[in-house]
Amino acid sequence: MIRVVVIGAGGYSGAELTGLLLGHPNTEVVGLFGSSRRGDNSQARFDRLYPRFRGRTDLTVHAMDLNEIASLAPDAVFLATPHEVSHNAAPTLLEGGLTVLDLSGAFRLVDPNLYPQHYGFEHEYPALLRDAVYGLPELNRDELLDAQLIAVAGCYPTSIIPAVAPLISAGAIDTQAPVVADSISGVSGAGKSPSARSHFCEVSLEPYSVFTHRHGPEINQHCGTRVIFTPHLGAFDRGILSTMHMQLAQGWTEDRVRALLDEKYGHEPFVRILDERTWPAISAVRYTNYCDIALQVDDSNAHLIVVSALDNLIKGAAGQAVQCMNTRFGIPETVGLGQDEPCLIR
């Protein structure tokens, strides 16, 4: 059994993660904690915050205390916390010999100089940025096997990087033209803290953070090329649909691109390359750890469109973190992720 602690258990991603870990046959949840930014979730019974867990656990979400966490002797600690909280907590946890899986963006970028602009704080641990393994098992499985710090990939990047990175690496894309990615996310991606923009009566379909979204550098870093990324807020609770436009390199066709992606992901448990002229839908991936990908080429101008869909709270956060944990501790990746989980949002 792997002894695990979740910090940030009161938020949407943290709650999804806790639910997956409670049902995982190889994990024992030994402690739940809030983040220092979300004191209202401290000292609250988890099953009162999320009533669907009545009868499944009597754990309390405590205020974050790193000494108390160390006393629980966990094997792994999940940080479902704001970026600055992860930045400050991870070094201490790592010094204690723990495996840390961080769901925030605190350790996803290699260049510390990008943090003031995109995350609003100076990064004080550039060595950890170099040591952190990017938590996208389909691309970094071998590196995860002995990782101590895992920077779990972001939700938008997970919908884009698996579709784009293999094509860039294979030379299938003309990189003289930028990759264009338009993504729509459910409002749960904004987190649990209320705001007027995410209010039921106000939420609408609209773009935001045009050219400035903090996931932009992460997408560029792991795709290996410049991606013009535009996020949109959708009037639904969860899920991401991304549409990517690319120009094929000379000699590449739809059949060749499909063969490449089939070879790359044909044996992956959580990436599904859909049949020709079948398109991804959020309804097909909700509450699952799947990422569905489809493609089509306009032969008249060699223009490739790739569309992906995933659940931002599962494959884009909690499920991905569990998949990374499974890989890290030598457990089959699908364990604990094979059943649909009911929605946690009430």
> Catalytic annotation on 155?
yes
Count CA atoms closer than 13 A to 281's CA, side-chain side: 5
* Sheet with 179-185, edge to edge strand ranges: 206-207, 227-233, 179-185, 240-247, 303-310, 291-298, 271-273
Alpha-carbon distance 169 to 235, whole Å?
35
Closest listed residue to residue 32, CA positions, set 20, 24, 48, 44 = 44
Catalytic one of 155, 223, 291, 324: 155
Catalytic residues: 155
